[in-house]
Structure 1
Amino acid sequence: MATHTNGEVNSPVISHSNDDTAITVLVVDDDPDLLDLTATFLEREEDDFEVLSESDPTAAIDRVNDTDLDAIVSDYDMPTLNGLEFLAAIREDHDSIPFILFTGKGSEEIASEAISKGVTDYLEKKTGPEQYSLLANRICNAVEQYHSAEALKQSEEKFSKLVKNSTDVLGIVDQKGQFKYISPACEHTLGYNQSELIGECAFDYMPPDDRHEAMDEFFAAIEDPEKEPIIEFRFEDPDGGWTIVEARGKNLFDDEFINGFVVNARDITELKKREQELKQQNERLRNMRKVMSHDLQNPVGVAADSLVLYRDSGEDKWLDKVETAVSRIDELLNKVTALSTDQTNITDTQTVELRDIVSSAWETVDTSGAQLHIQDSKAFEADPSRLKQVFENLLRNAVEHSDSEILIEVGTTDDGLYFEDTGPGIPEDERDEVFQSGYTTAPEKTGFGLNIVKEIVIGHGWEITIREGDEGGARFEIDGIVFQPAVYN
């Protein structure tokens, strides 16, 4: 059992013992006998009590500042400071430490004033040891609540610091998908401050395709709390651009404290860009290897065999074949160089208008025997020079594979655009092959045109497919484009 000291002894500063269950209590009373009795009975009542004592409230203030205390028990009627004045002085630096007013001068007026000034508990002194049992019980209850509140406060402070300094966005949405809370990281990651998003529906900031998938996953997790979906979607920023987000969700509607759907989201825009660049680089390497190991073999073989025949016969036609083969080799090597220098990389995007890009491509390609009809036009983000290259290659492909006059139509769909011609079309079993490097049905061509088209499309984060057009020709559809809202004058 710990011993107690009174105010007449210059004792050293005492802090908590190594026992985490010890409760350090400071008792303040100007009557030495009552001070000693209170301390002694409290230590008898609770083995975990470590009782300190002071007879002068002024000195007790210094004691409180120098000692790690769990509770203070104070008399009211004291000569230098009364109990409430002592409380006021303590509360200047210690706003939550339990303070129990234990006084023989009880009245409703004092009790009311004590409560209004923030006393933790109020107890009148009586005769008999039973009062100390009650006091000990009041101290234990007050200290337990104090420690719980302090632990919660520390936990909240740690959580606040983690959330504030995290680059991930932590959000809580209700059953409609409306933000109840969102962490400060939303300003850096999504471009909005907290007040702009609270009460807003998260799904309203997504393009239609992404919204439908996100809503399906969200409502499935609402129905089944065991589901913890991980989804990717685009989130519109204040300038009309898009942030690619990866979000992990958890249904915590049954949690009394959370009562919502918790979403932890991070910006993966740059990650997706790097993944796409790596995918394109690997594709280019495969194409280069194919050209070097396969496509060059034919013209090299033709040149070598033609030289043998020329030496045997002296006929110039074999030299002509050598010349043609060398030209073919030179053309293929130029394509390999183009692949190695990353000419299909998407480096700079800006707002473009479909009509402008298609018209510009039409002017740079020999389109004899073709007519162009632009059905409609919308604005969207793209690399203008690369997108122009897409339409140049599509135009060449349509014209070069048609023996008669053709009509070419370009327009938009709900989430993309199309390029359709009235030429001979592409057989269904060849539609995947035409995008492969070196594939061509014209021996004099390199077969890189449509492969480059696909690389540029993929580089933008879009998808391209081929199907039969309404007139039997080829219809190229590019999906995944997010169009900008139309501007009306």
Structure 2
Amino acid sequence: MSEFTSSPGERDTDGAEPSAQDDPIAILVVDDDEDLAELTATYLERARDDFDVGTETGVAPALDRLEDDRIDCVVSDYDMPGMDGLTFLDAVRDRYPDLPFVLFTGKGNEEIASEAISAGVTDYLQKGSDTGQYSVLANRIANAVEQYRAKRAVEHTRKRFDKLVHNSTDVISIISADARFEYLSPSAERILGYDPEEMVGEYIFDYAHPEDRQQAMERFFESVQDPDQRPVVQFRFKHPDGSWPVLESRGRNLLDDPHIEGFVVNSRDITERKRREEELQRHNEQLEEITSVISHDLRNPLNVAQGSLDMARETGDDDHFDRIDRSLRRIDEIIDDVLTLARQSRDDPETEAVSLTSVAESAWEMVDTGDADLRIEESAGLEADESRTQQLLENLFSNAIEHAADDGDVTVRVGLLDAGTGRCDDAPAPVGRGFYVADDGRGIPADDREAVFESGYSTGESGTGFGLAIVKQIAAAHGWDISLTDSTDGGARFEFSGVEPADE
């Protein structure tokens, strides 16, 4: 009875599971009389099958025992050499404030009892000659341990809940019926960027993006009126750094719950998920476009080539071989454009400081310009992917020349939106809102301006219909907005806004 079967180090360890109510109860009896300590242990184990009782005759080894073993209750004599029971209690309370401690002593009076209660003893019982006292002691130990374990279980649950709330990827909030924050979990500071205490009392929809606010308000107040609804709302949230992360909020009306009396909302940041979804959607759209090209645009020149080959075999006329040659070149052009479009949608641009003049001149050199002229009216440094920006300009230049009014005799102008005074050189100039490419050709009718950016759309005989689709894809990859209007010379004018200026 002097050794325990319980594992060492299990009690009061931060994060350790508390003992279950039906686990054996480990008791340490401390008495300077070894025989009396053993007798007490024997009677206690007879009184309850779930008691596991050990003994010590000295206070110092008893404290060591508490350090090494999981003890659920201490039963101590009062009058012991070196350290009396109350001094021992003080030492135990310093280390284990809530551990049940029963003072079981033959030297009892009202003064000792009062002092013991003031010192924080769990229970006090005087020794007697009747063995029935051990049944009383056993019951008091069992009651004390039951309360102790229940308290530990609650505390453990509270600590676990606190850690879950602090480290959760969700923000848990309670909203009043008039849409004001009543509570936000600590994770709000990490996820939303605000001190949760400072947000209490704030109107929740003040943080929603103006374009998303109405929908969020409608869903919320509908749920206030109808508790059976479980709304899920996605909206952009105003972060203190000026960004607008996308939140997904799931709500439940618990206004009638007396423990909550509010609308419980779980919100999480889904910005990255939305980005991946949009990227996947773009890739799927590109795949559909490529499928369309393979099934339609390539079929025509393939049919021409096959028919011409059959006629060449039948007649030997060299004109049929010319048609085959044109068809094969057409197929090659379409494949090149499709591959370019696919690459643009797959990889993110690698941006750097790029001179608008330099990249425009490089693009012009790569195009069969014929009698066309290039005029760079303003220049600036742009933050862009040089290779892709050159591809964008090449396609625009080719488009202008292909649709020129008089066999390629066209002037193409490149400049800045809201430009400064920089002219035709690499000197730094304010980039304004972006840049433009304009020409004095036939222009593009207003009714066709949306369709020209679709894959496969072409009004020219030699075009593949992918040039402007690639332009749109490159602009989107950079985060630029593209618009198409009339130039001052009557041709087409492509404007690119949202362009970041290069750092000086």
The TM-score bracket by the shorter chain reads 0.5 to 0.7
Which of 148, 151, 175 is the aligned partner of 2:150? 148
Which amino acid in structure 1 is aligned with residue 461 of structure 2? P
Q: Which residue of 1 aligns with 2:84?
A: 82
Counterpart-to-counterpart distance in 2, 1:209 and 1:372? 43
1:124-150 CA distances to partner (integer Å, 9 max, x unpaired)? 749999999997776555434422343
| Matching of residue 282 in structure 1 with residue 287 in structure 2 | yes
Contact 1:221–1:251 (CA under 8 A) maintained in structure 2: no
1:425 alignment counterpart: 444
Q: Does structure 1 conserve the Cα–Cα contact (< 8 Å) formed by 2:29 and 2:76? A: yes
Q: Residues 28 and 372 from structure 1, CA distance in 2 versus in 1: closer, same or farther, beyond 3 angstroms?
A: same
1:18 deviates by 11
Q: What are the Cα deviations for residues 380-403 of structure 1, in whole angstroms up to 9, with x where unaligned?
A: x75453245335534554564463
Structure 1 pair 13–393 and aligned structure 2 pair: CA distance change class (3 A): same
| AA aligned opposite 1:294 | R
- The answer to whether the 8 A contact 1:74-1:83 is kept is yes
Matches within 5 A, 1:363-374: 364-365=363-364
**Partner residue of 1:20?**
22
**What is the percent sequence identity of the aligned residues?**
29
CA offset digits 1:280-335 (Å, max 9, x no partner)? 662464255246742423652685488589846x8xx7776565545434433443
- Report the equivalent of 2:234: 231
Deviations 1:8-63 (Å, cap 9, x if unpaired)?
A: xx64435599981654444445579997998799889x867637374734354455
Matched residue, 1:350:
351
Distance 2:156 2:53 in 1: 27
Deviation string 1:432-467 (CA, Å, 9 cap, x unpaired) is 643343321111222111221233345457787879
Query: What amino acid maps onto 2:284 in structure 1?
Result: K
> 1:440 aligns to what SS in structure 2?
coil
Mapped partners of 1:265, 1:133: distance in 2:
59
Cα 1:467–1:200 shift into 2, 3 Å: farther
Report the RMSD for the aligned CA atoms in angstroms.
6.2
Distance 2:314 2:284 in 1: 45
Matched AA of 2:444? G
Q: Within 1, Cα distance between the matches of 2:470 and 2:208? A: 26
Instruction: Check if 1:294 corresponds to 2:299.
Output: yes
Task: Indicate how the Cα distance of structure 1 residues 395 and 159 shifts in structure 2: closer, same or farther if over 3 A, else same.
Answer: farther
User: Counterpart amino acid of 2:79?
Assistant: D
Q: Which runs of 5+ in 1 are unaligned?
A: 1-9
Q: Deviations over 1:352-407 (max 9, x none)?
A: 79xx6599448844695898888x9998x754532453355345545644639899
Partner of 2:462: 444
1:268 aligned residue: 272
The reply on whether 1:181 has 2:186 as its aligned counterpart is yes
Which residue identity does 1:346 align to in structure 2? Answer: D
Instruction: Determine if the alignment matches structure 1 residue 97 to structure 2 residue 99.
Output: yes
- Please say if residues 349 and 477 of structure 2, whose CA atoms lie closer than 8 Å, have aligned partners that are also in contact: no
- For 1:459 and 1:142, locate their aligned partners in 2 and report how far apart those are by CA, in whole Å: 68
Q: In structure 2, do the counterparts of structure 1 residues 475 and 99 end up closer, same or farther at CA, with 3 Å as the change threshold?
A: farther
Asked whether the 8 Å contact 1:390–1:452 carries over to 2, the reply is yes
8 Å CA contact 2:356, 2:380 repeated in 1:
no
Residue 5 of structure 1 is matched in structure 2 by none
User: Where does residue 57 of structure 2 map in the other structure?
Assistant: 56
Structure 1 segment 392-407 matched on structure 2, within 5 A: 392-394=394-396, 396-397=398-399, 400-401=402-403, 403=405
Local SS of the residue matching 1:268: helix
Match runs of 1:196-345 below 5 Å: 212-213=211-212, 217=216, 220-221=219-220, 224=224, 226-227=229-230, 229=232, 231=234, 247=248, 249-250=250-251, 261-265=265-269, 268=272, 271-272=276-277, 275=280, 278-279=283-284, 282-283=287-288, 285-286=290-291, 289-290=294-295, 293-297=298-302, 300=305, 303-304=308-309, 307=312, 311=316, 324-336=326-338, 338=340, 342-343=343-344, 345=346
Offset, 1:409:
8.8
Provide the rounded CA distance (Å) in 2 between the counterparts of 1:486 and 1:344: 24
- Once residues 136 and 473 of structure 1 are traced to their aligned partners in structure 2, the CA distance between those partners, rounded to angstroms, is 100
Equivalent pair of 1:277/1:345 in contact (CA under 8 Å): no
CA gap 1:468/1:162 in 2 versus in 1, 3 angstroms = farther
Q: Is the CA contact (8 Å cut-off) linking 2:44 and 2:134 kept in structure 1?
A: yes
Sort the Cα spacing of 1:465 and 1:150 in 2 relative to 1 into closer, same or farther, 3 A. Answer: farther
Give TM-score scaled by structure 2 length: 0.60
Aligned residue for 2:456, secondary structure, equals coil
Going from structure 1 to structure 2, the CA distance change for 1:362 and 1:292 (only over 3 Å counts) comes to same
- CA distance in 2 between counterparts of 1:216 and 1:27 reads 68
Name the aligned partner's letter for residue 111 of structure 2. S
Quick one: structure 1 residues 456 and 83, their matched pair in 2 at CA, closer, same or farther if it must change by over 3 Å?
same
Map 1:375-394 → 2, pairs under 5 A: 383-394=385-396
CA–CA distance in structure 2, aligned partners of residues 432 and 451 of structure 1: 11
1:72 aligns with 2:74: yes
Tell me: CA distance 1:79–1:171, structure 2 relative to 1, closer, same or farther (3 Å).
Answer: same
In 2, Cα distance between equivalents of 1:293 and 1:486: 41
Q: How many pairs are equivalent?
A: 446
Return closer, same or farther for 1:114/1:180 CA change in 2, 3 Å cut-off.
same
Partners of 2:416 and 2:436 within 8 A in 1 = yes
Q: Which amino acid aligns with 1:275?
A: L
3-state DSSP class of the match of 2:80? Answer: coil
Whether the 8 Å CA contact 1:358–1:391 is kept in 2: the answer is no
Secondary structure (helix, strand or coil) at the match of 1:213 reads helix
Asked whether 1:169 is paired with 2:169, we answer: yes
Structure 2: which 5+ runs fail to align?
8-18, 419-432
TM-score (norm 1): 0.61
Q: Are residues 327 and 388 of structure 1, via their aligned partners in 2, closer, same or farther at CA, if it must alter by over 3 Å? A: closer
Structure 1 pair 390/337, CA: closer, same or farther in 2 (3 Å)? closer
Secondary structure at the residue paired with 1:151? helix
Q: Is the 8 A contact 2:20 2:149 kept in 1?
A: no
Describe the shift of the 1:220–1:148 C-alpha distance in structure 2 as closer, same or farther (beyond 3 A).
farther
> 1:486–1:462: structure 2 CA closer, same or farther, 3 Å change rule?
closer
Counterpart amino acid of residue 171 in structure 2: G
